[in-house]
Amino acid sequence: MAVGARSGHDEPEERPEQLAESSVAMREDSADGRDADPADGSDDSDGAGDSGQGDEAGQADGAPKKPRSFWKELPLLIGIALVLALVIKTFLVQAFSIPSDSMMNTLQRGDRVLVDKLTPWFGSEPERGEVVVFHDPGGWLEGEPTPDPNVLQEFLSFIGLMPSAEEKDLIKRVIAVGGDTVSCKEGGKVILNGKALDETSYIYPGSSPCGDKPFGPLTVPKDSIWVMGDNRQNSLDSRYHQNLAGGGTVPNDKVVGRAVFVAWPVTRWATLPVPETFDQPGLNKALAVAPGAAGLAGVGLVGALPLVLRRRKRLAARHTAE
């Protein structure tokens, strides 16, 4: 065989210069991120593999999350409901149970009423004719038996889901407010600021306005109310506590709120509006000047009269001289 002849190769050998140029080109392609050898599929396969992993990660990030189960959400829902109930009971409305017959037939024993606790937060004060719930001002419920609720009843009462377990609360109708003069003679009507009240729409049938407990006339102190039950012959109201501090009146700061709705039983659903007799003309008219003030005004007038006459006499003399 001749020297330099190749076996099985038809192409000529590459020269050293060509090999050097090829190596440089491969390094530049690699630096640019391109495949060094198109014939080598290793880089392509690696790229394809990386791309597939990226797609799977993207699908995992964009996929909707699986919602929590109902049982995991239930404690949160219960907690929110309890907080809302507590807020409503504290600031908005609260249920109270009627324990006696003192407000028949407007309210009956066992009725549940909803009491508005919101308006007092904005400075609202009790008004004539309203049915209000108030804390015992002192001594009204002395000696009355008190039930012993269980723990569950106390908790439900605390958050407002059951009628109040507070047994020191009473419910009556406001008859007079601070500054009013009120009285009732035996066999007569309640007289408020000189006006007779027509109470036939709300007092218990057969009851008399003040029964065997006439009172007054008396003036209700400022920021206080005079209250009476609608069942006059079966209500230990302001009439029966005149020997206590306040003379039978209730301070406004003892009022929990106004009863606005009978919520239970459903057969007795009803609102509790103010009777029309409390809207009669002249009921809010300012009373005549008190006797003491009238006396002082009379003395002042008598003392001022000579001065006025003397001044008029001087003016007349001056006018004549001119």
For tokens 């390094």, name the residue. Answer: 27
pLDDT score recorded for residue 243 = 94
So what's the pLDDT on residue 159?
58
255 three-class SS: strand
Please confirm, yes or no, whether 102 is among the known catalytic residues.
yes
For 156-195, the pLDDT digits (tens) are: 666 555 555 555 789 999 999 999 999 999 989 999 999 9
What's the pLDDT score for residue 120?
A: 67
Does the pLDDT of residue 12 top 80, yes or no?
Answer: no
Q: What is the pLDDT of residues 52-83, one digit of tens each?
A: 444 444 445 556 666 777 677 777 777 776 66
Task: Reply yes or no: is the peptide bond before residue 231 cis, omega within 30 of 0.
Answer: no
Query: Which band of pLDDT confidence, cut at 50, 70 and 90, is reported for residue 102?
Result: very high
Task: State residue 156's pLDDT score.
Answer: 64
d(CA 176, CA 225): 6
pLDDT at 314: 58
Q: What is the pLDDT of residue 3?
A: 39
If you average pLDDT over residues 302-322, what whole number do you get?
53
Side chain identity at residue 162, one-letter code: M
Among residues 89, 117, 172, 254, the one annotated as catalytic is: 172
Angle at 289 between CA 286 and CA 295, to 5 degrees: 175
Q: State the amino acid at position 149 in one-letter form.
A: P
Sheet holding 181-184, edge to edge: 195-196, 190-192, 181-184, 215-219
| Among 102, 207, 235, 238, the one annotated catalytic | 102
